[in-house]
Structure 1
Amino acid sequence: MSDKKITVLDLLDLDLKGHNSLNLHCIAGRMGLSRALTVPDINRPGLALSGFYDSFAYQRVQLFGRGEFAYLKKLNFEGNIETIKQFFSYGIPCAIFTHSITPDDTFLSIAEHAGCAILQTDLESTEFSSRLLRVFSNLFAPKKTMHGVFVEVYGIGILLTGDSGVGKSETALELVERGHRLVADDIVEIRCVNGNSILGQGANKLISHHMEIRGLGIINISQLYGVGAIREQKEVQLVVKLETWDQNKIYDRLGTDAHTTDLLGVKIPLIEIPVKPGRNLPIIIEAAAMNERLKSMGYYSAREFNQNILKWIETGEAQNAYYGSEDSY
């Protein structure tokens, strides 16, 4: 069970568009809109309506389709309302009817008395279930905020991190100038979806596509470069840590050792780029993005280079080249 809670009213107020819309509205039991949704799952209450309540998943959203509605009509015809009263006695968070189904007045009256919200959607049960589970996956996903700049470069989501003033925003601005896209500047909200994917977006949608450039101030990327220069969210596929050049530190020059960082329990590839005057960071990051795309297709440039060197040494050509230069004297 998740420790994150949203209410039924929060579910109704979600601003979802197109194929993500739930098309929900409340038809009864408005006093129950404040009830908390604590389990990101759905239950079809067929067995419960028949009187079998062992292992009844009452904490979940209760979904009524045509089959459940047909059984409700049977109960109403038989005058068996005790089963319905018992159903609502468990304190379910809410009940949702698909296919624009409206239950009978007896059912609605019992729901009103129990203080349980009854919602309705015009979607089919299967389609609604898949949409609601996607919504729950986002709402209940572990999340946190990070200091950094999030950009999309050649289709790869790159999170730029580093100390304040190291040049993250300036580097991102140059990347946008070169045709790439900004997702968020300064404060990035990341969340873990499906246990293995990290999605990032601006922590505040009102300011996420604004950028602070020291000496210039706040600029609006979407107004300066157009809507094609921004993106609402993107999967984090690479973390680039920018740090001031330390001459006493040994930096990776071959790239054969894969480094990762942990974000909400998911290992994300990490590269460290030292910053000093004269280094063209945007070009380096572009190369890193393309190299990451090659890795996703199974091609590792550094490993292939290392294997070719080892093969060259094993053939003896390296020894001949070395000793042959001495024999010429």
Structure 2
Amino acid sequence: MPDFTVLDLLDLDLKEHNHLRLSCMAGRTGLSKKITTSKISRPGLPLSGFFEEFSNNSIQVFGRGEQVYLEKLESELHFESVEKLFSYDIPCCVFCDDGHPSAKIIELAEETGTAILKTNLISSDFSRRLYQTLDEVFAPTQTIHGVFVEVYGIGVLITGESGVGKSETALELIERGHRLISDDTVKLRNISDNYLIGMGENPLLAHHMEIRGLGIINLANLYGVGAIRDRKQVQLAIHLEPWDAKKNYDRVGEATLEDTYLGISIPKVEIPVKPGRNIPVIIETAARNERLKKLGYYSAKEFDQSVLKWLESESARKMYYINEETF
């Protein structure tokens, strides 16, 4: 489990469509509290006095309904449930829709060391963004040795033994207009047991590449920012291996190979490497083929159907000629 605090949540560098727009209003001593779960809580029932199954280890999100109810409790001097809520060790409270906590809430936050955060997002939008963010923060991770590139919009994970030519292949792909996500080490995240996201293990080093005989090169400086990308869904695995004359390689494309990482299976293509083979072009073709498969078009199946139709037509013609000779 990552060591993730409320301050880390505030400091996350998120893209505009995922930005949480958070600021701290009170309880700054609570910014060091750890967030230990990706779940969030809407504390409507606890505010009414029902604390059974209260998810006190979750971030407490106060939408417009909860805020109006807080005002009602304070005006009627029924503040016991609010005081009890703050007696729990909760990570932080977030007031949505530019809500402003009362002086009493701020006092409780300072006394208990609970950070009070504010966002101008409505509660539904904020909750959706927060779920996505925490799902990624707490997602299971795995680091593997390989190169990760984007080819025609497909996230291609290239693996193979050291020295087989992974980095050189990726360099040629970048020369051909594709993008590098990470070289040498790739960090994989399982997002909601649904798909894999790949990125560099170290963001500062991810877009550097080691080429034997040349040394370390910076792809962003050499080819521009259009040649790199921070992260991408892993959609295809390419395994490079030295050519083995005794091995029976798939020549039709009917074989369905897969690699499994963090419980998620990824389509896999094995490519034998030997002098004279243009590996980058083969990988480009594999990426195009994978895009066609996602659209429901399978080249190998179409080939099989065409062969069957041809055989059937040949058989029909033979039967016709045999019958003609009989008469």
Q: TM-score, normalised by structure 1?
A: 0.92
* In 2: Cα distance, 1:289 partner to 1:32 partner: 48
* In 2: Cα distance, 1:60 partner to 1:125 partner: 15
> How big is each residue's C-alpha offset from its partner over 1:178-209, in whole Å with a ceiling of 9 and x where there is no partner?
11111111111111113221111111111111
User: Do residues 94 (structure 1) and 92 (structure 2) align?
Assistant: yes
User: Out of 142, 145, 165, which is 1:144 matched to?
Assistant: 142
Moved more, 70-79 or 244-253: 70-79
* Partner SS for 1:36: coil
User: Do residues 223 (structure 1) and 215 (structure 2) align?
Assistant: no
> How big is each residue's C-alpha offset from its partner over 1:206-262, in whole Å with a ceiling of 9 and x where there is no partner?
111111111111111122112111111111111000001111211111111111110
Moved more, 306-315 or 131-140: 306-315
- Equivalenced residues, count: 319
Alignment of 1:117-132 (within 5 A): 117-132=115-130
Q: Aligned letter for 2:115?
A: A
Which ranges in structure 1 are unaligned for 5 or more consecutive residues?
321-329
- 8 Å contact from structure 1 (residues 160, 240) kept in 2: yes
Sequence identity percentage: 57
Q: Aligned letter for 2:178?
A: H
* Partner SS for 1:6: coil
User: Do residues 204 (structure 1) and 195 (structure 2) align?
Assistant: no
1:166 matched to which residue of 2? 164
> How big is each residue's C-alpha offset from its partner over 1:92-122, in whole Å with a ceiling of 9 and x where there is no partner?
2111111222212222212222222111122
Alignment of 1:43-58 (within 5 A): 43-58=41-56
Which ranges in structure 2 are unaligned for 5 or more consecutive residues?
319-327
Measured after TM superposition, the shift of residue 317 of structure 1 is: 4.5
Cα distance, 1:270–1:50 mapped onto 2, change above 3 Å: same
Measured after TM superposition, the shift of residue 136 of structure 1 is: 0.9
1:266 matched to which residue of 2? 264
2:321 matched to which residue of 1? none
* Partner SS for 2:202: coil
User: Do residues 113 (structure 1) and 106 (structure 2) align?
Assistant: no
1:280 matched to which residue of 2? 278
* In 2: Cα distance, 1:236 partner to 1:126 partner: 29
1:307 matched to which residue of 2? 305
* In 2: Cα distance, 1:219 partner to 1:60 partner: 44
- 8 Å contact from structure 1 (residues 210, 220) kept in 2: yes
Cα distance, 1:271–1:318 mapped onto 2, change above 3 Å: farther
* Partner SS for 1:246: coil
Following TM superposition, the consecutive aligned residue runs of length 4 or more in structure 1 with deviations greater than 6 angstroms are: none
Cα distance, 1:187–1:319 mapped onto 2, change above 3 Å: farther
Cα distance, 1:122–1:159 mapped onto 2, change above 3 Å: same
* In 1: Cα distance, 2:108 partner to 2:211 partner: 60
Cα distance, 1:17–1:154 mapped onto 2, change above 3 Å: closer
